[in-house]
Chains A and B, each alone.
Chain A
């Protein structure tokens, strides 16, 4: 699935992204299920608030973590998040 560079991403209303104190990690919650997230995945998904597209998410994370060349990783995570229904693409 190729990402549309114009698409902005928003978190699915049928899922919940939440910090779990006991586990010291972010999790995605949905009916009777739970996915534990690693730090990069959580950072990317937290930015899926309906205002950002792939480019702006990459830029923000590259600034925040003083790094570069993460575009492919971010795109890969967004693609699998879309496939799993955790996020939606706004046209």
Chain B
């Protein structure tokens, strides 16, 4: 599973000052282990190399330290967080500290007893990912026979009084089913539906030619989503995560580097965004060696792209830099090889052509026959040497 919702609610009002603040959102990637094999997973391609997971005690300490700094939203993610046997204990600790606790799961392996156990521990919300609104495609994308079970889990989530968030990652294999996806969410009585257009990092970047829809497909799907947004007002909140390859301006990634979000990877690496492990020479700190406070305030990695001093033109003199902070550093690196470049999604970016090329490649006939590379340990090892 993996969804991207970072551009969402707490957008701060733009000003010339770079926003400074303590972490509000802590994403705890408890493990890279996952029974699913989604080919758009945002975990790093070499995840199989990072198998030294933090202990229960490490996580407890991290939660306490981040909470002291003011973090209030805590996402339990992965991989599949249900794989961790200490999940309920971690939820209990987090809830006691005052976090709003979000379980971000494939639902696979969740049974009613475990839902009750988590409820008792104080879990606030469960987000379930479904890969497609019909069985064959869902199971193909997930690489696992999971469709019926996921729907059952969705019913239990409702039954036990959780707000139910359904997440569907959108790409070329399922975008034509937008109406069915929305109807499925209605049938499952979701309180929130996240329609997350694939963001092209990690495994999604590897499979981009096979996953990136055309502009016409995007526009049609977005129109349908907007129609339902209107129709379901007051019943279901629909978040539509925009596909940034078809935008003219980049997203304000992570609400600004080192302003709001803190991700801790399974091996304890502290990241300003969950993709930042890939950035060469960033040298992210590890919670095994440093306190959260020290990491947030003093580490080089978290200070690297704070403010505007690092920017090149056209960002440096652009009046919109305080709105989008130059876009996404990981996307700049993936598309141009330079993490200091303007995000090529921007129509003013010198490397805008790389986005056009990606769109062109995905639309070419050869993309149709290229097989998807599924996210699993065998492929991870083969691809990372």
- Which residues of the partner chain B approach A33 to less than 8 Å between Cβ atoms? 8-10, 73
Contact in complex: B72, A32 (CB < 8 Å): no
Convert A6-30 into 0s and 1s, putting 1 for each residue whose CB lies closer than 8 angstroms to a CB of B: 0000000110101011110001011
Contact in complex: A22, B191 (CB < 8 Å): no
Asked whether any CB of chain A lies closer than 8 Å to the CB of B127, the reply is yes
Known: A14-B163, A16-B100, A22-B22. A34 touches B73 (CB 8 A): yes
Among B70, B73, B237, which residue has its beta carbon within 8 angstroms of that of A29? Answer: B73
- Which residues of the partner chain B approach A31 to less than 8 Å between Cβ atoms? 102, 124-125, 127, 163, 165, 191-192
Among A18, A34, A85, which residue has its beta carbon within 8 angstroms of that of B10? Answer: A34
Contact in complex: A20, B127 (CB < 8 Å): no
Contact in complex: B72, A27 (CB < 8 Å): yes
Contact in complex: A14, B100 (CB < 8 Å): no
Among B10, B72, B125, B191, which residue has its beta carbon within 8 angstroms of that of A20? Answer: B72
Interfacial residues of chain A within 29-66, with CB under 8 A of chain B in the complex = 29-36
Interfacial residues of chain B within 228-248, with CB under 8 A of chain A in the complex = 234, 237
Among A21, A34, A35, A83, which residue has its beta carbon within 8 angstroms of that of B24? Answer: A34
Known: A20-B70, A22-B70, A34-B10. A29 touches B100 (CB 8 A): yes
Cα A10 to Cα B102 with chains together (Å): 23
- Which residues of the partner chain B approach A20 to less than 8 Å between Cβ atoms? 70, 72
Asked whether any CB of chain A lies closer than 8 Å to the CB of B161, the reply is yes
- Which residues of the partner chain B approach A21 to less than 8 Å between Cβ atoms? 70
Asked whether any CB of chain A lies closer than 8 Å to the CB of B39, the reply is no
Asked whether any CB of chain A lies closer than 8 Å to the CB of B78, the reply is no
Contact in complex: A29, B24 (CB < 8 Å): no
Cα A17 to Cα B72 with chains together (Å): 12
- Which residues of the partner chain A approach B192 to less than 8 Å between Cβ atoms? 31
Contact in complex: B72, A34 (CB < 8 Å): yes
**Closest approach, in angstroms, between the C-beta of B77 and any C-beta of chain A?**
11
**Closest approach, in angstroms, between the C-beta of B105 and any C-beta of chain A?**
13
Interfacial residues of chain B within 79-104, with CB under 8 A of chain A in the complex = 98, 100, 102
Among B69, B161, B234, which residue has its beta carbon within 8 angstroms of that of A13? Answer: B161
Asked whether any CB of chain A lies closer than 8 Å to the CB of B133, the reply is no
Contact in complex: A32, B70 (CB < 8 Å): no
Cα A13 to Cα B161 with chains together (Å): 8
- Which residues of the partner chain A approach B98 to less than 8 Å between Cβ atoms? 18
Contact in complex: B24, A30 (CB < 8 Å): no
Asked whether any CB of chain A lies closer than 8 Å to the CB of B256, the reply is no
Cα A29 to Cα B237 with chains together (Å): 15
Cα A76 to Cα B125 with chains together (Å): 29
Contact in complex: A35, B9 (CB < 8 Å): yes
Contact in complex: B73, A14 (CB < 8 Å): no
Contact in complex: A23, B70 (CB < 8 Å): yes
**Closest approach, in angstroms, between the C-beta of A78 and any C-beta of chain B?**
15
**Closest approach, in angstroms, between the C-beta of B81 and any C-beta of chain A?**
15
Cα A85 to Cα B24 with chains together (Å): 22
**Closest approach, in angstroms, between the C-beta of B165 and any C-beta of chain A?**
5
Q: Which of A18, A20, A29, A35 has the most CB of B within 10 A?
A: A29
Cα A33 to Cα B102 with chains together (Å): 10
**Closest approach, in angstroms, between the C-beta of B6 and any C-beta of chain A?**
9
Contact in complex: B10, A22 (CB < 8 Å): no
Cα A18 to Cα B72 with chains together (Å): 10
Of all chain B residues, the one with the shortest Cβ separation from A13 is B161
**Closest approach, in angstroms, between the C-beta of B338 and any C-beta of chain A?**
32
Cα A35 to Cα B8 with chains together (Å): 12
Convert B6-28 into 0s and 1s, putting 1 for each residue whose CB lies closer than 8 angstroms to a CB of A: 00111000000000001010000
Interface residue ranges, B against A (CB under 8 Å) = 5, 8-10, 22, 24, 68-70, 72-73, 75, 98, 100, 102, 124-125, 127, 161, 163, 165, 191-192, 234, 237
6 further A-B pairs in the complex, CB-CB below 8 A; given A30-B163, A31-B192: A14-B191, A27-B72, A31-B163, A33-B9, A34-B9, A35-B9
- 26 contacts across the A-B interface (CB closer than 8 A): A13-B161, A16-B124, A18-B72, A18-B100, A20-B70, A20-B72, A22-B70, A22-B72, A27-B72, A29-B100, A31-B125, A31-B163, A31-B165, A31-B191, A32-B5, A32-B8, A32-B73, A32-B102, A32-B165, A33-B9, A33-B73, A34-B9, A34-B73, A34-B100, A85-B234, A85-B237
